[in-house]
Structure 1
Amino acid sequence: MSSSESNPKSNFHRSQTFSYKNGIALPVVPKVGIGGEPLHVNQLSVSDVDELANKRPTLTYGQAKQTPPADFIPGHVAFDKKVLKFDGYFKETVHESPQEYYRVRPIVLYYYLEDDSIAIHEPEVDNAGLPQGKLINRQRLPKNDQGDCWHWKDLNVAMDLVAYGKRYRLTCCDKFTCDFMESHGIIPNCPEMIPPDPYIESRKRNPAREHVTPSEFDKLKQFLTYDRKVLRFYAYWNDTDNLFGECRRYVIHYYLADGTLEIREVYEKNDGRDPFPLMVGRRRFPKSMKNSTVNFPSISMEVSDQEVKEWYGPRDLVVGQPVTLLGRDFFIYDCDEFTKNYFYQNIRGVELEPVDVIKKPAPPEKKWVPPYNGFGSVEDSLGNCLSFIPKPPKKDVIKMLENDKIILRYEAKMESRIPEDWNRRFILSFHVATDEISIFEPPLRNSGRIGGKVLSKIRIPKPGSNAESPEFYTARDLAICSVVEVLGCRFIITDADEYVYKYLEGNAAAFPSETLDTFRHKAQERKTKLVQESLTAQQEKLEQTTGSVLFCDPEPAAMETSVAMVPLECTQFLDSRPSESPSKRDIVPPQSQGNIQMLQNQGDICPPLFQGNIPTPQNQGDISVLQSQGGIYPPQSQGGICPPQSQGGICPPQSQGGICPPQSQGGICPPQSQGGIYPPQSQGGICPPL
C-alpha cells in the first residue's frame, strides 16, 4: 500500500483564529482542525475560557458585566506635536590640516512620535566656515540592512546611532523625553558631556603669536576687529552768507574698518530737493599733504598714500568743532550713543557734549480775513478765503423745517436827514427759518415814488461785527422803537402785525423781557386809542341826533385873536413840517371862539392846504372857498343860517332842520348833493362824496 492511500490528508495548515478589522482585534473560533477535520461545535475559544476562569457569580445583582473597552484613538492623533529631543555629537575626520585630526560637531536629534520620523540639526555658529544647520531632513532612518527602521524604543541616552555611514552619539535628552520613556518602562541612562574639540583647546592653551606681521596684514586685522562698526556724527553746513544760500543738515559716517568717510544729506518732507542717497561717497579724506612740487602734473585726481602725510581720523571729528571736508566747513553738533562709548573707551580727554543748534520754528503767521466786499453773503465771502474751492455754507436744516413759512412783519419808518423820507413807511419781514430780512415799501399814490421791493431776503449783520465772526439780526433784536441798520440805512420799528404779538406770547421764553415789554406797551396804547375812538364816535352820533350846529359870524376882534382848532389828522397837511407817527395823533376837541361852533368829529370838514403835496383847489364849479388866514374862516352868517352864495346859477342846498350836517366819509365829510349841487372831485387824497 502506498503512503498516499494510507494517509489521504493533504492540507495540514491550521485555521486562522485572530484578525484585525478597522484597527480592532477580533478573535475567530476555529471550525476546522488540521487536515480539514471538523471540530466540535461546542469548543470554547481562548477568550471564553478566560471569561469562565474569571467568572464570579453573585446572587444579589446577577452576573457582573465586563467594562467596555476604551475608544480607539489613531496614532497620528494621539502623538500629534509630540517630539522626543536628544542632544549629541559626531566626530568628523580632518585630512587636510596637520594641526587637527578630527572635529567634534554637536547635533540635536528630533524624534517625531506621530510617524516615527527623525531629523538631525547642527546649531549654527557665526564665521565657522562649515556648512551647518539641517544635516538630515525629517524621515524614517534605516536601522540595518533587513529594512528595519529606528524606533523610539531603540533610543536611549549614552548610545550610538548610525545613519547613512555616520555615527552619532546621544549624550542627553530633555525632561519630556525622559518622562515619556519612563512611562513606557524604559529607564534613561546617565547623561554624558560632549567632549571638547582638540583644535580649539590647543588654540586656547598655546600663547598668542609673537612674530610681527607685515603692514599688509594690519588692514585685515583692523577689518576683522572693527567690521560693521561705524561712528555717526550730526553736522550742518551754513551757507547763508552767499546768495540764495541756506543752512542744511548732514550725517557724517566714519567706518572704523578702513578709515573711510561718507557724507549723507538729511532730506526733509517737501523740501523740494531730489533725494540722492549720498552727497559724498565712501572714501578717505586727506588732512595734510607732503611737500611736493606745485607745478608737477598729476595723471589722476585721486590722491595716493605717498602724497598724503595724514588722513582724517576719529580724533579730528569732535562734537562742538567744525571740520573742513572738500572745501566746506561742517559744524558737528551731536553724535549717536555708540560713538560716545567708543570715544570714552579709546580716546581719552575728549568731551562729546551736544550743541543745541536747532532753531525753533517761528510761530505761524496769523491769518487775517479781508473785509467784506458786499458781493453775496458774509459766509460766501469767508468761504473764498478758507478753501481754494469754496463750499456752500452749512444751514440749520432742523431750524428750517421747524420754522418753515413763519414770517414776522413789522412796520418801520426811515431815519434820514432828507425831509421827504420822513413820511415813508416800510414793511420789514423777518423770516424765522433762515434769519433773513426783506423790506417792502407800500406804493403811495401821487407820492413820486414807485414803491415795491426795497430789499430781497438777506441776512443783515449787526453794526460792529467783523467778517471772521459776524453777528446777524435775529427776532430777539427786533423790538418797538429799535433801530435796524441795513446797508447804510437806518429803519425804526414802529409797529407789528397781530401775528407777531401772538408769536411772541407763544414763545416768550425765547425772547428777552425788554423786547416783550415794548410790544405789550404798544398793545396797551392800541387798546386805549380804540376806546377813545369809540367814545368819539358815540359823541358824534349823539350830536347828529340832537340838532343842528349854527355857524355864526364872529366878531372882528375875536377873529384876529382866535385860532381855529382842527383835528390832528388835518394838522399834518396844514403844517409844512412832517407830521409825527400815527400813534401820536390825538383827537382834539373843538373850541368855541365867539359864535363859531365846530363839530367834535374825527371826520369834520377840514379842507387842508396841502395833502400829498397837492394844493387845495381854489374854485371848482363856481364854488368859491375863502382863503384861510391863520386858521379856517367859517361862512358868513345870514339870518342865523349860512348858506353858500349862489354863483353861476347854482342853487344852494335846501335847509333841513336849520343846518344840514355833513356825513363822515374817509375822515373828510363833504356835503351831500342836494338840489343839483355837485361837490368838487377828489384831488390829493380828498375823498369824493358818494
Structure 2
Amino acid sequence: MVSNPVHGLPFLPGTSFKDSTKTAFHRSQTLGYRNGYAIVRRPTVGIGGDRLQFNQLSQTELDELASKAPVLTYGQPKQAPPADFVPAHVAFDKKVLKFDAYFQEDVPMSTEERYRIRQVNIYYYLEDDSMSVIEPVVENSGIPQGKLIKRQRLAKNDRGDHYHWKDLNRGINITIYGRTFRIVDCDQFTQVFLESQGIELNPPEKMVLDPYTELRKQPLRKYVTPSDFDQLKQFLTFDKQVLRFYAIWDDTDSMYGECRTYIIHYYLMDDTVEIREVHERNDGRDPFPLLMNRRRMPKVLVENAKNFPQCVLEISDQEVLEWYTAKDFIVGKSLTILGRTFFIYDCDPFTRRYYKEKFGITDLPRIDVSKQEPPPVKQELPPYNGFGLVEDSAQNCFALIPKAPKKDVMKMLVNNNKVLRYLAVLAYLLIPRRPTCEDKHWNLFRACQRQKLLESPIPEDKDRRFVFSYFLATDMISIFEPPVRNSGIIGGKYLRRTKVVKPYSTVDNPIYYGPSDFFIGAVIEVFGHRFIILDTDEYVLKYMESNAAQSSPEALASIQNHVRKREAPAPASESKQTEKDPGVQELEALIDTIQKELKDHSCKDNIREAFQIYDKEASGYVDRDMFFKICESLNVPVDDSLVKELIRMCSHGEGKINYYNFVRAFSN
C-alpha cells in the first residue's frame, strides 16, 4: 500500500488527491444477528478496509468545539443563530433548594417552659420561585405540625418584593408572616447550586434543641433511700407539745408601715410552723387569725428549685437542703419567713424549760420592744423679721390658721383714752457700741444721758420737734412732728401707733418701753433713731404722782423739778452773773479763739468719747497723766501756746483736769 504523498495538506479545492492504487471501496457490515434478533454492530474498519482514526478529544474539548464559532481571517462574519429558548419549568423542573431552620415560640401559660424551639424545613422551588415551610411531625407532641406554610411566593417587604434564592443563605434570619426563622444549614444540592451561581455561603450552624424536649428525655423519677428517722416515734413522743414565741414584724420603713405583733407556734411532733397575728381592740384590721397556716418551712433551697411551682405543688425533701428546726428559734434573734423578718422577743415558760433541757440554754430574758415616745419638740420661734409685732408674728408658728394674741381687756377698760404726751428732739449720742446693763460702758452711757448730748450732725434736724404719745391701754407709742413753714421737711405722722422695743432687749424676750422710761432727759431709741425728752404736759405729772409705784423716784423727781422751773420766773441776777465773771468771759474767749485756729483738726470728732471712756464715774475730771496720754494718742497739739493756756485754766488743784471745757474748744 502506497502512502499518500500529499498527506498533511489542507483539505481545500485543488489540494485533494485520490489514491490511484486503491481498488477496494466496499463498506463493512453493520447489521448482525444474535440469538435470532437483529442487532447493530459498530464498524471496525473504514471504506475499503482502511483503518479508522478514533477521536482522542475529551468531552470538555468537544463541548468547546461545539459552541465555538469559526473566526475568519477576512470577510464579514455571520451572526450565530440564537440559542434555543428553554422555559424555567423545563430547565428547573424538580429542582428544589432545601434549608434547615428553626423558630422560637413563647409559652405563656406553662410553669415548666417559657419558650419552645420548633425545627422546620424551608423548600425553595426554582421553577416558579415559590417557597413552603414544613415542620417534621413528632409523635405525641401535642402540637399541630406538618405543613406550616403552603407552597406560594412569599413577600419580603411592604413594597411587594418576594423572596428570591439569592436572599437565602446559612446563618441568617428571615421573617415570614411575622415569624422569624433562623437558617442554620442546607443540603448538598443547595450548596452546589448556590456556589455555582457565585454566592458565598456562610458556615453552617448547630441546630438549637428544645429544652423541654431534652428535659423529657431524662428519667422521670429519681429514687432516694428513705431516712432511718422514725417519724412515728417523734409523733408519739412530742404529741401536743408546742413551742410558743412572741415576735414582732417592723415594717415602718415602708410607706404606711407599722410595727405588728405575732405569735409563732412550733409543733415538735412534725416540725411544722404556724404564725398567728395578735389583734388589738379597734385596730382597724380585718379579723384574720392566721398569717401563715401550719406547714414545714424550708430554710435553704436547692439551686434549681427557684422556679418550683409552689402555688400548685408542695415542696418536698428533694427541693430543700435544710428545714427550720427548733434550734433556729432563739429569743433575741431575727429570722426571715415568707420574705418577712420577725424578731423574737419572748417565749412562754414551757419553751424556756424545753431549751434548758434540750440545748442547755438557760438565759432567755424578755426583750423590751416597746417604743418610747420621742421627747416633745421644743417650738423655737424663727428670728424676728421686723414686720409687725413680735406677738403677731409668733402666732404663725403656733397654729396653721393664726389667731390674734390675747389682750388684757381689764387694762384696756381701765386705761381707755389715757394718753401721756412728751416733747422730744433728735439726739446724736457718741458711744463705742451698744452697751448692756453689765457692760463697763454703761456708766458712760448713763453719764451721757445726764450731761448735754451732742446735737444731730444734720443741720436740718436741729430745730425739729416731736410729740410722743404713749397709750396706756395698749402700751403703744405714736410720734407726731408738728409741721414748720419753710423748713423743707414735711411734718405730720412720723410713726404710727405701735409698740417700741428697747434697743438692748433680745428678740426672744422683747422688752417694750413703758411709762417709767419717759422722764426729762431720757433717751428713747425708736428703730435706730434716738430722741431726748425735753418737756411734758401736766397730765403726765398727775398720772405719775397717782401711780408712783409704777415709776422710779428719779423719773418722778425730774418731771416735778422741770415743771417747777417752768412755772417759776428766772431771777435777773442769774442771767447777768456770767457777764460779770471775768474768768468765765476769758475762758469763753479763749475757746472761741482755739475753735477758729484749730477748726480743721482731725481729732475733734472723737476726743469727747476718749475722755468719757476713762471717766467711769462721769465726774468730768481725769488725772493729769491720763489727760496727756489721751491727748498724745489723739495728736492734740498740747505744745501750742493757746492750748497750754486752756489746760492751765481747766486744771484742778488735786492734780485733775476738767475735760468738759477742754473738749468744747475742739468741737463744733
TM range, smaller chain = 0.3 to 0.5
Tell me which protein shows more helix as a share of its residues: 2
Q: TM-score, normalised by structure 2?
A: 0.40
Q: TM-score, normalised by structure 1?
A: 0.39
